[in-house]
Amino acid sequence: MTRYDILTAVPTAFHRDGTLDIEGSRAIFRFVADSGNEGAFVLGTTGEFPAVDAEEFAAIVEAALAELQGRMRVVVHVGRPSTFEAVRLTRIARELGAVEFAALTPYYLRATDDAIFDYYRAVSDAVGDGRLYVYIYPARSGNPVSPELLVRLAELPNVVGAKISELSLDDIAAYRAVVPADFDLYTGADRDLIAAVEVGAQGVVSGVSSVTPKPFRALADAGRAGDAAAIVAAQAAVDDVVALIGGDMARMKEAYRVLDVVDTHCRMAIAEPSAAERTAVAEVVAAHR
């Protein structure tokens, strides 16, 4: 059966001074839990993971599992530049009860295919009887994953899929052509749910769906039903919100203020929306809430 899964990439809440707002994060998790989406992707790019230390990581994962587990899948991102840190975070999350994990390739320094394979082999071992997704994002990590390397990674015992960001639909199709049929592929392009599924993906990891889930649910439902007219209408709504909010965490957090979920801010160096942008965010949220 063709799937149209939506995993919500969840922002992390911070106070204006940059300190972690764990209660604000809990509020976001509760909002996401009510979305109807299939899962949550915690502490990924949208969650500003490079700016979170190990103690904060544990607190956020504990809160995510408490608010989301039992209502939707929870995929915890554990990727780090070093195998040591990625394994350490995997063990922390596993001890807290996580069963699904994702790991960005090693990043900042260039790594060989063999070094990347060794990294995932170690993380896979740390996952135990859980499930691990390869997070492929060469525009940020600097380390690509070729189809040939993904085939090798798919043979590791707990590697069950991949999240693919800022690569083309042709790239997704190339991965689909070589990995096993039960190996899941998720695009990181919010607007590409239907297009990605058509080339063999199982769904999307979407940050924008964290604040406006309704049009994404409509698009997934239309895809499952094979309703061409409904797909066109829902796609237009998704395109509308993605064009304004996109991958901008500051605009997502402005949307949470508009929705009265939480007054939250970014820790990383992300520009706050202008007055005009705040007005536009309020309008698009009102139109699609």
Instruction: Cite the active site residues.
Output: 137, 163
* Contacts within 8 Å (CB) and 24+ apart, 53-58: 54/88, 54/89, 54/92, 56/20, 57/89, 57/92, 57/93, 58/92, 58/93, 58/96
Residue type, 12: T
* Cα(170)–Cα(187) distance, integer angstroms: 12
Q: Which of 83, 89, 64 is nearest to 10 (CA)?
A: 64
User: What would the DSSP string read from start to end of 171-233?
Assistant: HHHHHHHHS-TT-EEEE--GGGHHHHHHTT--EEEESGGGT-HHHHHHHHHHHHHT-HHHHHH
Which residues lie across from 75 on neighbouring strands? Answer: 41, 100
Residue type, 162: A
Q: For strand 100-104 and strand 73-77, is the pairing parallel, antiparallel, or unpaired?
A: parallel
Residue spans of alpha helices (H) in 34-112? 54-68, 83-96
H/E run at residue 132: strand 131-136
Which residues lie across from 7 on neighbouring strands? Answer: 39, 205
Q: Please answer whether residues 145 and 153 qualify as being in contact, where contact means their C-beta atoms are separated by less than 8 angstroms.
A: yes
